[in-house]
A and B are shown apart, each in its own frame.
Chain A
Amino acid sequence: MSGMSKIVKTISSIAFPFVMIYGLYIIAHGHLTPGGGFQGGAIVASGAAMILVSYGSVWTMGKVKEKKLSILESTGAIVFIGTAILGLLFAGVFFNNFLFDSNLIFNIVPVKGSTVGILNSAGTLPIMNFAVGLKVVAGLFAIVLVMAYATTKMGGGKK
């Protein structure tokens, strides 16, 4: 598809960093407030879809190769399962939370009840949130990109 007019391109390129920071905030605070990996990843992916619609799929396919999205997605999944297997190796059970109350990062144990949230707590959860967020961004953006590109080729040959 071809892009839209110059006004739309300017406004969407101004709005995109704000959308990305908002999505990253929701991924990073997943263990304190509502949100987490999938929700934040969906927000960043819809920001990227906004760029795709306003600039056109031909321009976007020139800037982003589909192979790099595939590598990003695989990396996210490997980090997630790797953390689970590390729980098996270090502390005895699969998916064990081995960073909770230890001496590495993310180890503060918050008090029970209503607190102001501490970002440095809750063990392996923030790591898994980031892995899932990376995977969701790469996956949803790849889906939207390939569908937009496929509809431009509808009149021509096969994929």
Chain B
Amino acid sequence: MNDILSILINHSPALIVAVPLFGAFLTPLVGMINDKIRNIFVIFITLLTGFFTVILVNEVFTNGIKTYCFGAENPSVNPVVRIFFEIDGMSAFMALIAVILPIVAVIYSWGFAKEETGQSKYYTLILLMTAGILGMVLTGDMFNFFVFLEITSISSAALVAFWTNKKNSVQAAFKYIVISSIGALMVLFAVAIFYGQYNALNMAVIANNIGFGFLDKIALVVLIAALTMKAAIAPMHMWLPDAYSGAPSPVTVVIVGTTLASLYGVFRVVFTIYGKQFLTILRSFGDFAVTPSLLIGVFIVVLAVLTIVIGVFMALKSNDFKRMIGYAAVAEIGYMILAVGSAISTYFIPTGTTTVTMAEHGKMALTGGIFHMINDALDIGLLFLVAGAVYYATKETSLNKLGGLSRKMKYTTVFFLIGLFAVSGLPPMNGFASKLIIYQSTYQVNPILAIVAILCSIMLLAVFVKVFHSAFLGPEISSTKNVKEVPKSMLIAMGILAALIIFFGLFPEFVITNIVEPAKNALLNSSEYISAILGGV
């Protein structure tokens, strides 16, 4: 038994990507037999992927970086010619997020998509998206990252337009595919610059040999611009409310995973590939030196403040249930970027040594930012599932036409209350834990940042309390008189997310020391990433 388990752990990076891919192409054939068998088959495939991910994550958190080579047992490292998957703490953390969301979405879709046509293609595309997101976070090769990025954006754009008889969905899908395609082509342009200069596509080899000349600066700017465009950071955030509200609700939960994986791409580029060059002095004004870390940090922090303010104000004035939650999602991404940007800007060299270190409050900010990623995925996912349940029961999304839903839909009201507390950062939910860390650490970088963050969090609470009062409490409107509670599978899916939110909120110490700390240490330690493949150079 132990033997089989260790063989599975050794091959799990390949199996995590291969199992959803294989299941995605088997689904149309299984779907021709029976509908129920196909649903059970899809749930089985996602649970199997979840099992492989959990054993891999356990292995990486206890034993360090794991690499896997495709196609050869003893690959040569001088030069590196094969495709490698390299899984460190941050990749394992993102893989955990990327596998919880499709499991919940598939269980929810059993009840939600029951009367739609073309369900085989729906499940095929969801499994393809799962394979794409998992490939994007596990890979150690730049061109492989581009290919998985394109797989994810094509299948998610096809799913956003799933309801082809609605005007809103199709035009949102067109905007989404145009912006995704331009972003991915710019990523390919930067990968071509890297290949032309260093004759390597592997992330560890590029990180080992990188300089900071003219072409490297162009590649850095293009990569950050394209990947933040895919991660919906202002001023490139306009596609997100349209795409999140045009898609069916379980699909939106998986697209949240896509957005977070593009954000992971930004961190991988900035921390690992350019990690060696963080403190080359570009220009010095007397005693004050301008370094790349200061420039990147300040730039990201400015964008983050813009994102939070735009997200919260547009959510205040919105009238549609799903669009409002979409704008709140934009604001939450701003919080993550605020924490990580202020962490980058605190790199310095202590007097007397020559190694670069990050200040202590910078490390705390990085912990808060990474913890906020998993919290945001769970919170926004739960809110979109509640919005989908409301749409399934009443066929309405405009806030002017909803009222008094709490009399008939008791469970949905409780779940919305949990999501409300979590998004605006109230105890005892998980949003409170991560936002407290972000407030404390960004206050030490610059007090204005913390003040802006706290004020916008309070405004987000005001927005959601207004929605809760008008949609769920209050007298009944005649158009929503005979609504019923939603089917059991949707309640089970929402219950899983709510249970995770409460668990993370009640035991944040456990989560931080076991799940977030390895990710933070892996991001700060780019030389360990390089030496895992190149063998101690």
Chain B residue at smallest Cβ distance from A159: B164
Q: Is the CB of A78 within 8 A of B164?
A: no
A1 to chain B, nearest CB (A): 22
Q: A84-B18, A85-B18, A88-B14 are in contact. Are A95 and B70 (CB under 8 A)?
A: yes
Which residue from chain A places its CB closest to the CB of B17 in the assembled complex?
A94
Measured in the bound complex, the distance between the Cα atoms of B15 and A88 in whole Å is 10
Q: Are A77 and B18 in contact (CB under 8 A)?
A: no
How far apart are the CA atoms of A62 and B11 in the complex, in Å?
A: 47
Flag whether B72 is at the interface (Cβ < 8 A): yes
- Chain B residues with Cβ under 8 A from A64's Cβ? none
B73 touches A78 (CB 8 A): no
**A70 to B124 alpha-carbon distance, docked (Å):** 12
Closest to B21 in A: A81
B29 within 8 Å of A (CB atoms): yes
CB distance B71 to A95 under 8 Å?
yes
Q: Which of A79-99 contact B (CB under 8 A)?
A: 81-82, 84-85, 87-88, 92-97
Near A by CB (< 8 A), chain B positions 19-45 give: 21-22, 25-26, 28-29
Nearest to A78 among chain B residues (CB) is B25
The answer to whether B11 touches A88 (Cβ under 8 A) is yes
Does B399 sit at the interface, judged by CB under 8 A?
A: no
A74 at the interface (CB under 8 A from B): yes
Contacts of A92 in B (CB 8 A): 73
Contact at A74–B26, with CB atoms within 8 Å?
yes
CA distance A82 to B165 in the complex (A): 37
Looking at the assembled complex, report how far the CB atom of A149 sits from the nearest CB atom of chain B, in whole angstroms: 15
* Residue in B closest to A79 when the chains form the complex, CB atoms: B25
Give the residue name and chain of the A residue nearest to B29 (CB).
Answer: A74
**Shortest Cβ gap from A53 to chain B (Å):** 26
Interface of A is mostly: helix
In the complex, are the beta carbons of B71 and A78 less than 8 A apart? no
For B75, the closest partner residue in chain A by CB is A93
Q: Is the Cβ of A93 less than 8 Å from the Cβ of B71?
A: yes
**B151 part of interface (Cβ distance < 8 Å):** no
Given A70, A71, A82, A94, which contacts B14 in the complex, CB threshold below 8 Å? Answer: A94
The reply to whether the CB of A158 lies closer than 8 angstroms to some CB of chain B is yes
Which residues on the A side are within 8 Å of B26 (C-beta)? 74, 78
In angstroms, Cα B252 to Cα A131, docked, is 33
User: A159 contacts which chain B residues (CB < 8 A)?
Assistant: 164
Structural contact, B71 and A81, CB atoms closer than 8 A: no
The 8 Å CB contact of B25, one of A77, A87, A95, is: A77
B60 surroundings in chain A (CB, below 8 A): none
- Check if B158 is an interface residue, CB within 8 A of chain A: no
Contact present for B70 and A93 (CB under 8 Å): yes
Query: Which residues of A (47-80) have their CB < 8 Å from a CB of B?
Result: 70-71, 74, 77-78
Question: 1/0 per residue A96-127: CB within 8 Å of B?
Answer: 11000000000000000000000000000000
Which of B22, B25, B72 has the largest count of A CB atoms less than 10 A from its CB? Answer: B25
Given A84-B18, A158-B165, 18 more A-B residue pairs with CB atoms under 8 Å apart are A74-B25, A74-B29, A78-B22, A81-B21, A81-B25, A85-B22, A87-B71, A88-B11, A92-B73, A93-B14, A93-B70, A93-B73, A94-B11, A94-B14, A94-B70, A95-B14, A95-B71, A96-B73
**A interface residue numbers (CB < 8 A to B):** 70-71, 74, 77-78, 81-82, 84-85, 87-88, 92-97, 158-159
Binding site for A on B (CB under 8 A): 11, 14-15, 18, 21-22, 25-26, 28-29, 69-73, 164-165
